[in-house]
């Protein structure tokens, strides 16, 4: 990897894990578009480290090495999507008869996996308010084999105290996996707070340009990594080399993009907070955010996700979303393009209505993923949209 771990994040995001191509000197790791790798002899099988691209690929490996260093883990595996990363983690750690705890607010796909697929294989899940360590403590059973938290959670931004939950997990020898997609290791470092696995949809901030879908699992131990890698290889969910190449380019500007997007988000949250047509606004950087102190304590940035409700409820919210011109109505988040999402009809449509209401995913909730455009332009667009509701 050729670069010391003590070097700053903004330097690591560019250089870590990458060497000039040994054959040509190309500064960017090439896209190794090859299914298989010719072996020198039976006795020297895997001499160059690769056999078949479902099991490993040099371009993907360069990204994995970079993410290992950025997250401060021992190993990383890159996946075809964020959901593939979550699925492999759960399959690696859970068997029939086991029980797992999942944050009661989490990405809709995670909820779908834990309610509609893995229970068919004999795994039981409890959806727990992981912002409350006592609730987690009470939910642990003799057969609990995984605590899976998402913080900040999609879409309500509820926070989980990573150190507190990791402590509970460690006392009972249960692995704690954290979905760190919303903040990335630039702002939040779960493994340093005691978590065992950090999971990402690289589709979001690591890529940052709406160009790919991908995922990653960074493990704190070789043992966990080997379990994840076994599932990845067996089920065939590795990232493709083109996606790894593009994601690597995205990584190089991660801190610059996140700082600028976070600053935009703060400006927009403050604008919404004072707007007469806005009922409520939620952003971890606002003093009014109910976990503002925890947001400051466990992360170095507040992220670029906001949600708010317009006065007049769902119909007013829909009217606003239809009226926006610069904000695209779309499902992704974390990109340089600003996006607006209606979780109830888009990202969280499969979450049961009663469960959605219980955890605060209201019908009128409008989610913003703040991009890199000029904050003034984004605010002007929101202003003209709000004027129409």
Ligand X SMILES: Cc1ncc(COP(=O)(O)O)c(C=O)c1O
Binding-site ranges for ligand X (CB under 6 A): 81-83, 107, 109, 150, 154, 179, 181-182, 201, 203, 213, 215
Minimum CB–partner distance for residue 332 and ligand X (Å): 7
Distance CA 29, CA 36 (A): 18
Minimum CB–partner distance for residue 207 and ligand X (Å): 9
Which lies closer to ligand X via its Cβ, residue 203 or residue 240?
A: 203
Question: Three-class SS of residue 316?
Answer: helix
**Which of 188, 224, 187, 177 has its CA nearest to residue 82?**
177
Please say if 112 is a catalytic residue: no
Please say if 179 is a catalytic residue: yes
Report residue 145 as tokens.
């084999």
Which lies closer to ligand X via its Cβ, residue 37 or residue 356?
A: 356
The residue number with the shortest CB distance to ligand X is 82
Which lies closer to ligand X via its Cβ, residue 53 or residue 181?
A: 181
**Which of 70, 240, 86, 82 has its CA nearest to residue 148?**
86
Distance CA 285, CA 215 (A): 27
Minimum CB–partner distance for residue 182 and ligand X (Å): 6
Cα four-point dihedral sign 112, 116, 122, 125: positive
**Which of 216, 243, 212 has its CA nearest to residue 335?**
212
Q: Name the catalytic one among 98, 161, 179, 196.
A: 179
Q: Name the catalytic one among 32, 37, 107, 283.
A: 107
329: CB partners within 8 A, 6+ apart: 321, 322, 339, 340, 341, 342
Which lies closer to ligand X via its Cβ, residue 181 or residue 261?
A: 181
Please say if 107 is a catalytic residue: yes
Minimum CB–partner distance for residue 81 and ligand X (Å): 3
Pairing relationship of beta strands 197-201 and 176-179 according to DSSP bridges = parallel
List the strands of the sheet with 305-310, edge to edge.
278-282, 305-310, 365-369, 339-341, 328-329
Which lies closer to ligand X via its Cβ, residue 37 or residue 187?
A: 187
Query: What is the H or E stretch that residue 320 is in?
Result: helix 313-323
Please say if 319 is a catalytic residue: no
Q: Name the catalytic one among 204, 318, 356, 367.
A: 204
Minimum CB–partner distance for residue 120 and ligand X (Å): 20
Catalytic residues: 54, 107, 179, 204
């Amino acid at each position: 990897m050729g670069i010391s771990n003590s070097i700053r994040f903004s330097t690591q995001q560019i250089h870590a894990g990458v060497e000039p191509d040994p054959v040509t000197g190309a500064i960017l790791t090439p896209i190794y578009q090859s299914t298989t790798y010719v072996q020198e002899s039976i006795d020297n099988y895997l001499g160059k480290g690769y056999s078949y691209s479902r099991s490993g690929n040099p371009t993907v490996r360069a990204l994995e090495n970079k993410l290992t260093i950025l997250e401060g883990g021992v190993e990383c595996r890159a996946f075809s999507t964020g959901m593939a990363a979550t699925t492999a983690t759960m399959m690696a750690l859970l068997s029939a008869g086991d029980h797992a705890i999942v944050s009661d607010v989490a990405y809709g796909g995670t909820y779908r996996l834990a309610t509609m697929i893995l229970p068919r294989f004999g795994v039981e899940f409890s959806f727990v308010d992981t912002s409350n360590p006592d609730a987690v403590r009470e939910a642990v059973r003799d057969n609990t084999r995984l605590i899976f938290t998402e913080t900040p959670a999609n879409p309500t931004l509820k926070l989980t105290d990573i150190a507190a939950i990791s402590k509970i997990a460690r006392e009972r020898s249960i692995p704690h996996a954290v979905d760190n997609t919303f903040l990335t290791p630039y702002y939040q470092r779960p493994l340093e707070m005691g978590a065992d696995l950090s999971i990402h949809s690289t589709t979001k901030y690591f890529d940052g340009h709406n160009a790919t879908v991908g995922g990653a699992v960074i493990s704190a131990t070789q043992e966990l990594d080997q379990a994840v890698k076994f599932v990845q290889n067996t089920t065939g969910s590795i990232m493709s080399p083109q996606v790894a190449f593009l994601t690597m380019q995205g990584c190089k500007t991660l801190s610059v993009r996140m700082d600028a997007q976070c600053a935009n988000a703060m400006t927009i949250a403050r604008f919404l907070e004072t707007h007469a047509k806005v009922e409520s606004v939620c952003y971890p950087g606002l003093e009014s955010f109910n976990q503002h102190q925890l947001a400051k304590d466990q992360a170095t940035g507040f992220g670029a996700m906001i949600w708010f409700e317009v006065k007049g409820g769902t119909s007013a919210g829909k009217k606003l979303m239809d009226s926006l011109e610069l904000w695209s109505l779309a499902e992704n988040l974390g990109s340089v393009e600003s996006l607006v999402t209606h979780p109830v009809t888009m990202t969280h449509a499969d979450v049961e209505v009663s469960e959605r209401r219980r955890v605060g995913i209201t019908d009128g909730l409008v989610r913003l993923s703040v991009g890199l455009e000029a904050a003034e332009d984004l605010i002007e667009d929101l202003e003209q949209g709000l004027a129409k509701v």
